[in-house]
């Protein structure tokens, strides 16, 4: 297999503050590097990430920050033109103009990596073209989607993508693994505040905390409004850097997974938190969405909750042996299918397949 020279224009790799993109890029790029590929990451320098950088100099890729679209075009045209594959990520500032320039400049494979596919499609339906416009989709040779299932066909049939492929997030098992830690919480949740996630968080977790004063609960994440009234047995922490996520997971008996409304509607959208928690061997209590059972088997590898009564039943009635077995089975599933090692190979496999098709077309054409 050849060594690929890849340029990625992504939201952020330097800061995980308030986004799930950085950890996704870090896990993927680290493995691409270890598998012999070269990655150049271009990130827009914005103040909210500049003041919250937990990885200012990633050791496994070349990193450059640019302050404007003009600087990007002026300084990195040769980088984009020379790459074997150029990947533009979702939520990149001025992403439509960036994408248009990449499609005009890149000589290799041009890909879009959508880490927010259901949100993206909902925005397109509202004619909100913050970082992607429908006219750009046919110009990307490869649409890499955080969401699988029926969404892939929709991207091809409705929006004209030449090739839409699932590229779920993944977990870096060098960072996420079981460790013996004193249990501090019966149930924890790690996630940035989102208005559409707050009602299910209240329904499945906070209501359970109110109904069980003796239980110990924790919520970690930024941007929660000061108006939220946390019950006395819920500890809220504004932010934990990724370096502390494993410790947080392993201090919980169970961890909570809550899904964005657009992603529930689309289904087949596993979050990185699912894989991180499972890699730590912590059993997950999740809301339901179509396709979840293709990631983890219900009641064997994951627990599904529809209301606070379900949550409380798991917390108060499940014996310790069963709890640990569910966590371990989920860990084994992740090790087999959802590590960054597999995801990097999957990406290169897509690229190799597309390159072979282009070469065949050129020869036959």
Q: What are residue 217's DSSP bridge partners?
A: 187, 234
Percent of the chain past pLDDT 70, that is, above it, reads 99
Query: pLDDT tens digits for 55-111?
Result: 999 999 999 999 999 999 999 999 999 999 999 999 999 999 999 999 999 999 999
Q: How confident is the model at residue 361 (pLDDT cuts 50, 70, 90)?
A: confident
88 vs 143: CA distance, rounded Å: 10
Q: 23 pLDDT exceeds 80?
A: yes
Q: What is the pLDDT of residue 17?
A: 83
Q: Mean per-residue pLDDT for 154-172?
A: 97
Query: pLDDT tens digits for 178-215?
Result: 999 999 999 999 998 999 999 999 999 999 999 999 99
| 323 backbone dihedrals φ, ψ, rounded to 5° | -55, -50
DSSP designation for 92: -
Cβ neighbours, 10 Å, residue 26: 22
Asked if residues 136 and 96 have their Cβ atoms less than 8 Å apart, the reply is yes
Q: Which of 92, 6, 51 is nearest to 239 (CA)?
A: 51
Q: What are residue 14's DSSP bridge partners?
A: none
156 vs 359: CA distance, rounded Å: 22
Q: Mean per-residue pLDDT for 308-315?
A: 98
Q: What is the pLDDT of residue 1?
A: 67
351 vs 86: CA distance, rounded Å: 11
Q: Which of 4, 67, 91 is nearest to 40 (CA)?
A: 4
Q: What are residue 66's DSSP bridge partners?
A: 44
Asked if residues 277 and 291 have their Cβ atoms less than 8 Å apart, the reply is no
Burial class, 182, CB count within 10 angstroms (exposed 0-12 / middle 13-18 / buried 19+) = exposed
Q: Mean per-residue pLDDT for 110-135?
A: 96
């Amino acid at each position: 297999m050849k060594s690929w020279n890849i340029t990625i224009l992504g939201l952020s790799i330097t800061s995980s503050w308030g986004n799930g993109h950085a950890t996704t890029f870090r896990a993927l790029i680290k493995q691409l590097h270890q598998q012999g590929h070269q990655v150049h990451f271009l990130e827009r320098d914005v103040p909210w990430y500049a003041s919250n950088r937990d990885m200012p100099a990633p050791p496994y890729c070349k990193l450059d920050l640019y302050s404007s679209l003009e600087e990007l075009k002026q300084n990195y045209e040769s980088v984009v033109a020379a790459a074997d594959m150029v990947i533009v990520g979702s939520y990149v500032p001025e992403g439509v103009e960036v994408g248009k320039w990449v499609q005009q400049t890149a000589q290799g494979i041009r890909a879009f990596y959508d880490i927010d596919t259901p949100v993206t499609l909902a925005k397109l339906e509202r004619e909100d073209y913050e970082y992607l416009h429908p006219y750009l989709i046919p110009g990307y040779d490869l649409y890499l989607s955080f969401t699988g299932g029926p969404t892939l066909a929709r991207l091809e049939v409705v929006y004209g993508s030449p090739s839409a492929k699932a590229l779920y997030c993944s977990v870096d098992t060098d960072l996420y693994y079981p460790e013996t830690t004193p249990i501090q919480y019966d149930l924890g949740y790690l996630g940035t505040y989102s208005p559409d996630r707050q009602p299910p968080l209240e329904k499945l977790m906070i209501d359970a905390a109110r109904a069980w004063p003796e239980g110990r609960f924790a919520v970690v994440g930024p941007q929660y409004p000061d108006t939220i009234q946390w019950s006395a047995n819920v500890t809220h922490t504004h932010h934990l850097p990724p370096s502390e996520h494993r410790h947080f997971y392993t201090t919980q008996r169970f961890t909570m997974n809550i899904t964005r409304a657009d992603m529930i509607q689309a289904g087949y959208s596993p979050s990185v938190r699912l894989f991180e928690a499972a890699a730590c061997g912590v059993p997950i209590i999740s809301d339901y969405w179509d396709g979840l059972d293709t990631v983890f088997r219900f009641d064997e590898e994951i627990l599904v909750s529809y209301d606070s009564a379900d949550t409380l039943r798991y917390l108060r009635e499940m014996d310790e042996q069963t709890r640990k077995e569910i966590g371990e089975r989920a860990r084994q599933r992740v090790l087999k299918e959802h590590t960054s090692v597999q995801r990097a190979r999957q990406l290169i496999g897509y690229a190799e397949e597309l390159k072979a098709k282009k070469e065949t077309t050129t020869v036959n054409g």
